[in-house]
Amino acid sequence: MAVKSAEGKTVLFKSWGQDWRPFGQPRKKRLVDSVILDKGIKESILNDIKEFLQSGKWYHDRGIPYRRGYLLYGPPGSGKTSFIQALAGELDYNIAIMNISEPNLTDDRLAYLMNNIPERTILLLEDIDAAFNKREQSKEQGYVAGVTFSGLLNALDGVSSAEEVLTFMTTNHPEKLDPALLRPGRIDYRVLIDNATDYQIIHMFLRFYEGEEERAKVFMDRFRQLELPYVSTAQLQGLFVQYKESPDLAIENIGILKQPHMNNFFYE
Ligand SMILES: Nc1ncnc2c1ncn2[C@@H]1O[C@H](COP(=O)(O)OP(=O)(O)OP(=O)(O)O)[C@@H](O)[C@H]1O
Ligand SMILES: [Mg+2]
């Protein structure tokens, strides 16, 4: 029954003591089409993963651990988490979320968990920079809580299994990451998921207002007139959700995008 109810859905696992446990109800798969990244980005990541998933024999023949690490970095609300959810749906994978800044987590437990990821499950480490800052802070207080940086590196290196392992990490602050983490084998593929480009603005608009190509152009013109330094895709979603019945109202109220706090309303 559990298998049946998870069909067509994405199961989220969270670490619970020594184990991974399903967290909440399985979620409806998010469609890749619903995430609008800049031109070509989704395709390159998907191609990379597909090639990796077909290369099991190649890795085994060469004695290389069969795993691949991805880093999605960029500002808040640009679609990093959403895209990983959609990828899991597309690949028919589940997601195991590891919170490495959890104070009760030890290096041993981290290593154990990362070596015992459920099958066909993406390992997701969110806000990877936060964990280290926290560690440094607590170090200054003379007490090291939670996992250590070297514990994390070892756990990542140790991740090995007969099955493939896909690890995704996200951060808003790539500059804070230690180069040791960024080396191939730990992170093999990194990509900037940035604030919205013109391409994304138009396609976000069309995603909410199907077939409204003309209005999308008007929206784009009005957006340029605002002369905002940037806008996040989450901000755009906020505006379009608010005026979901009417593209004209979205155009008319585009000034909302100028409100400073809008950026923080719509991302989890
Ligand atoms: N590129 C996008 N395409 C479609 N929806 C998006 C996109 N970016 C953001 N959104 C929407 O905005 C919300 C926040 O997105 P998401 O959580 O994926 O952002 P994020 O990049 O992970 O942010 P953070 O760095 O703060 O974790 C979601 O509801 C999502 O649907
Ligand atoms: Mg996120």
Query: Are 114 and 99 members of one domain?
Result: yes
Query: Are 104 and 118 members of one domain?
Result: yes
In which band, very low, low, confident or very high, does the pLDDT at 53 lie, cut at 50, 70 and 90? very high
Query: Are 137 and 186 members of one domain?
Result: yes
* Ligand 1 atom 28, closest CA: 267
Ligand nearest 233 Cα, by number? 1
Cα-to-centroid distance, 148 and ligand 1 (Å): 29
CATH code, 18: 3.40.50.300
Report pLDDT digits (tens) over 65-118: 899 999 999 999 999 999 999 999 999 999 999 988 888 888 899 989 988 999
Residue 3 is predicted with a pLDDT of 56
> Is residue 252 pLDDT above 50, yes or no?
yes
Query: Are 113 and 168 members of one domain?
Result: yes
Q: Ligand 2 (ion): which residues have CB within 5 A?
A: 80-81
| Residue 184 lies in domain | 2-192
Listed residues 177, 192, 207: the one ending a domain: 192
pLDDT above 90 covers what percent of the chain? 68
Ligand nearest 125 Cα, by number? 2
Query: Are 41 and 94 members of one domain?
Result: yes
In which band, very low, low, confident or very high, does the pLDDT at 54 lie, cut at 50, 70 and 90? very high
Q: Find the residues whose C-beta lies inside 6 A of ligand 1.
A: 35-37, 76-82, 172, 233-234, 237, 266-268
Report the relative pairing of strands 121-125 and 67-73 from DSSP bridges.
Answer: unpaired
Query: Are 184 and 114 members of one domain?
Result: yes
Listed residues 159, 192, 225: the one ending a domain: 192
Atom of ligand 1 nearest to the CA of 34: 4
Residue 267 is predicted with a pLDDT of 40
Query: Are 41 and 165 members of one domain?
Result: yes
Cα-to-centroid distance, 208 and ligand 2 (Å): 21
